Chain A
């Protein structure tokens, strides 16, 4: 029998072909071709990685459970089957639904999701490293009676760690075809192709011939799964020695927190020490490119618009591309390796101290990239009030859109000095301080809500620690490519549009064929009108215009300032960093970043909060609260610094 226990990743096994007499256990007979296929499996088994492979799309993937919270559809065009639609679903353990993401999965699967066609076939993805537990889900899924291909994912790792599974026997046991694949490496894809080919050519009436547990509670499913895997000669892989050894250090009482802090500091250090020179270089390049193109244009309003208005605005945002990419490279490494789950473990005590739901951690962590997916990720939180509380605090986490604003102000106002010898830069420390500030404000807000809204005990912290994996260069490269594309696209659309409006308002009205002076333009009037409100924060009217425009999106302020300084003859020739010194003192500069740490300057976030809470009440409340916090925070900062300077000057 040993000869036919295939552990190689190209083994496929067909179940016994069902004869027409075989009673079909409730499964509908299908005459049409298959069109819609659902991708289902337990959390963190690699569904989205496979989805991305089969559709050529880019759903977010990472090495922790609960990354996918929505259903996503894509045609399998890059797989040579443009006629087939694949639906990626959130991971589930059973068909019992306690949280919204699980409800989405089950609704789609059962054809109860409005707007999504009922699936004609199922790809059941299981992590074959833990087959005897993962198979528990096979019982309810196969009971649905849909044509199902069971995909044993991560078969490369199983083989590597000397585990075994007899796919042929398993297929006989389950009554459905089984294929060994590796979604990360891309092996076994032709098996999926064959399966789809067969099912679309021979419309099926193939019932599952498996003996499934009749009562499908966890205990009976687990027992059944254990028996099936035992009969399929499943041999567990060796326990991951590296994961244990690494955890002994990374979760060590002393070293764990130290390494955690060191990792965070290192990220910021690299963002500055490597990112800043790259960004400066890119800036020089873009300025030269702009200048040489501008020379080809006649000296009229068009040149003014293109160079002073649009190009200045857009390029001042674009130069932050290196920093954004570096940040996402680190986030990618931390997420894919499995370290983030450990970070959750280290930080849990703190989270609990403020009464935060354990499940809130993953959404809050992902808010460091962007609040929008983070707010969607709160769907894993079952309790509605806790979910809203998490939504309310998520935008305080420092998202990547704040990075351009922070780096700009820090590079302009904070001297490039070293702390602790040459280990840590002052700039990186200030940046870290801003991240901590946002986090503390989130904690404070959570505490504020805690008195009524949140109860820590109702949804306990249950964290499955994934094994450490090497982040694949492919996955990292794809992340960076997607992020870079998103960032440049935003610069080319939203920021370009905002810059255009700002430029237009900064030269209008036209008097006798001449553009207005900046301070007598429309925007100058608006700016001077609002100046009294922001003056106590240490901002002048140009910064005020920047703040107004950044309600669209945080980075827009950088583009707006780029345009305003480009239009203004006084600062026309200087870089954005030095131009800022015309309008901001150190007090105003620090106040500005504090303002951005707290303010909800993001229409996408407002929209997603509106959608997820299904009311305007929460986004309105949140916007008001965050803007007040930002105003007061900036006011306090500016006044404090002014008084400190005054005090030190009087000595």
Chain B
């Protein structure tokens, strides 16, 4: 898990968030078609994303973003960077 600190919060991969945590989406590094699809589901910089639950096998994970629930595999969530805010990390 790569964690680097900034003035405001910690940046990490979406896949590294624990269930119940929420964070602010920072950037997506995915192929155009995937990024575009996710962007239309609400995965845009600045959006608040919350980890709702993991599938019984531990993967994929269900995220709540922009009012909808979207499941992503770890291999996809790895390429999404989020900023963990103070509010999001309490739990």
Contact = CB atoms under 8 A, between A and B. Distances in A.
B44 A252 contact: no
B17 interface: no
Interface residues of A, number: 43
B70 A465 contact: yes
A129 B68 CA distance: 10
A448 interface: no
Contacts of B44: 218-219, 222
Given A130-B66, A461-B60, 7 more contacts: A98-B36, A222-B44, A346-B57, A459-B34, A461-B72, A461-B76, A463-B70
Contacts of B38: 462
Contact of B36 (A96, A248, A350, A358): A96
A390 to B, nearest CB: 17
Contacts, number: 112
Nearest first, the 6 closest Cβ-Cβ pairs linking A and B are A218-B39, A349-B57, A93-B40, A98-B33, A460-B76, A256-B56
Contacts of B20: none
Among B32, B56, B69, B73, the one with the most A-chain Cβ atoms within 10 Å of its Cβ is B56
Interface in B12-55: 30-34, 36-42, 44-45, 52-55
Given A218-B40, A358-B73, A464 B68 contact: yes
A130 B69 CA distance: 11
Interface of B: 30-34, 36-42, 44-45, 52-60, 62, 66-73, 75-76
Contacts of A219: 39, 44-45
B20 to A, nearest CB: 12
Nearest to A352: B73
Nearest to B45: A219
Interface string A214-257: 00011100100000000000001000000110011001111011
Among A345, A459, A460, the one with the most B-chain Cβ atoms within 10 Å of its Cβ is A460
B67 A132 contact: yes
A604 interface: no
Q: Is the interface of A mostly helix, strand, loop or mixed?
A: helix
Contact of A346 (B33, B56, B67): B56
Contacts of B52: 244, 247
Interface string A388-413: 00000000000000000000000000
5 contacts: A345-B55, A346-B56, A460-B34, A464-B41, A464-B68
A136 interface: yes
A603 interface: no
Interface of A: 42, 93-94, 96, 98, 129-130, 132-133, 136, 217-219, 222, 236, 243-244, 247-248, 251-254, 256-257, 345-346, 348-350, 352, 358, 382, 456-465
B42 A98 contact: no
A464 B37 CA distance: 11
Contacts of A236: 67
B46 to A, nearest CB: 9
A130 B45 CA distance: 19
A639 to B, nearest CB: 37
Given A251-B53, A348-B60, A461 B73 contact: yes
B37 A98 contact: yes
Nearest to B77: A460
A464 B69 contact: yes
B80 to A, nearest CB: 11
Nearest to B71: A463
Nearest to B73: A461
A350 B57 CA distance: 9
Contacts of A217: 39
B55 A251 contact: yes
A348 B55 contact: yes
A344 to B, nearest CB: 8
A248 B62 CA distance: 11
A136 B40 contact: yes
Nearest to A223: B44
A34 to B, nearest CB: 29
A248 B53 contact: yes
Contact of A252 (B56, B59, B71, B73): B56
